[in-house]
Structure 1
Amino acid sequence: MTDSWVRLELTVRTFDSARFTPYVDRCRAAGVTFLSVAESGDGEEERRRLYELNKECSADIPERGAFYSYEEYARLRFASPSYDPGGIIVARDADGTWVGMAATSLHLSEGFAFNEMTGVRAAYRGRGISLAMKTLGIAFAARRGAPVIRTIHHPANASAIAMNRTLGYVDTDWRISP
């Protein structure tokens, strides 16, 4: 696995949400709705749907390797102290199918939020859904008082890196604490 990860950070208070609201509006006009996992109920059915969506979207991450079992995923995501179902934005198609997700966890005692995963099913890409979900995830972090949002990418994940830079994320040298 590479050791040259791209580390990015966004200062929440300087984020220009108005610049990206048209992505949210355009998606909604096309029949895509957005809700948090908290709004969807955060029950076992929603968690399994999130797992399947995350697993499918993660397959495109360079050097990702095998995805977790549901039990591992539940332990790592849902049992984590940083888990907040309000920070996981889901995009739904008009028929109710979950087509995308953007997961933001809170690490406020350490002074940041973390964008863990943003993904859209292949058939729905290129419609601005990722930018819309990320915009809503940033709004979540702002409401919860996070001063910055961090994310990390494999250097070959050019589309995710470019999307984050479009939103205003900048390169930084932060490191995940051991």
Structure 2
Amino acid sequence: MDVEWVRLALDLNGFDAVRFEPYVRGARRAGIGFTTLAGLGDTPGNRRALYELDLACAADSPERGEFRTFDEYFAWRAVTPAFDPYGVVLALDGGAWVGMAMTSVRPGGDAFSEMTGLLAGCRGRGISPALKLLAVSFARSRGARRLRAVHHPANAPAIAVNRRFGFVDEVRGEKADAGRAGGGGDPRRPWTPSD
């Protein structure tokens, strides 16, 4: 059965970040820290931790199917010119990795939301919108004009968060590129979730 994926786009030039800053402040007041894979070190051990986090966060994704092996995952996610460890924002609770927002920047001015997810026990605390805002901030720091996302139609929570941020259905004929070709077009200058 073919699935009609929900393809969304956010105009980053018109996005009002101020509206969503209370989510980041609230999460920080509640003890949640934010950093990036680059900030912690893009090491084999941290890549393994990222894989395990993504695996756990995606466990209840609709019709997910079998998850890639570690080697397949990094060949798919990180061994591409678009991968930037500064674009992997992590939510930490007491040092434990509890959430992530992975964003890549493509040639031509678009960014793609590869994955935003939280461990099931951390949902409903405002961390997901905080991660989404930090992902938007990263994309803007790299000069992206749009942030795109693709969701299974049954993934209502993720779609709702994106719509609250102002994501709209892509115009027919435009396609959110979930492919792995391309590169960021911007040097990998340091970026932190406080920028």
TM-score (norm 2): 0.87
5 Å-filtered alignment, 1:1-16, equals 2-16=2-16
Give the distance between the partners of 1:168 and 1:88, measured in 2 at CA: 22
Q: Which residue of 2 aligns with 1:98?
A: 97
CA displacement 1:89-141 (0-9 Å, x = unmatched): 000002x100000010110x233000011000011000011100110010000
Give the secondary structure class of the aligned counterpart of 1:92: strand
What code does the residue aligned with 1:13 have? N
RMSD value, Cα: 1.2
The answer for the alignment partner of 1:141 in structure 2 is 139
Q: Hey, which of these two has a bigger chunk of helix by percent? A: 1
Q: CA–CA distance in 1 between the matches of 2:89 and 2:104?
A: 11
Structure 1 residue ranges, 4+ long, deviating more than 6 angstroms after superposition:
none
Whole-angstrom distance in 1 between the partners of 2:110 and 2:152? 20
Distance 2:2 2:14 in 1: 31
Given that 2:150 and 2:176 are in contact with CA atoms closer than 8 Å, whether structure 1 keeps it comes out as: no
Aligned partner of 1:30 in structure 2 is 30
Task: Using structure 1 for the length normalisation, give the TM-score.
Answer: 0.95
Contact 1:8–1:151 (8 Å) recurs in 2: yes
Matches of 1:2 and 1:31 in 2, distance apart? 42
Equivalenced residue count is 176
Kindly indicate whether the alpha-carbon contact (under 8 Å) linking 1:4 and 1:155 is maintained by their aligned counterparts in 2: yes
Aligned pairs for 1:11-160 (under 5 A) are 11-94=11-94, 96-107=95-106, 109-160=107-158
Percentage identity across paired residues of the two chains:
50
Native 8 Å contact 1:2 1:154 kept in 2: no
User: What is the Cα deviation at residue 144 of structure 1?
Assistant: 0.3
CA distance in 1, matches of 2:130, 2:56: 20
Gaps of 5+ in 2: 180-195
C-alpha distance in 2 between matches for 1:50 and 1:128? 21
Unaligned runs of 5+ in 1: none
Query: 1:33 touches 1:92 (CA, 8 Å); kept in 2?
Result: yes
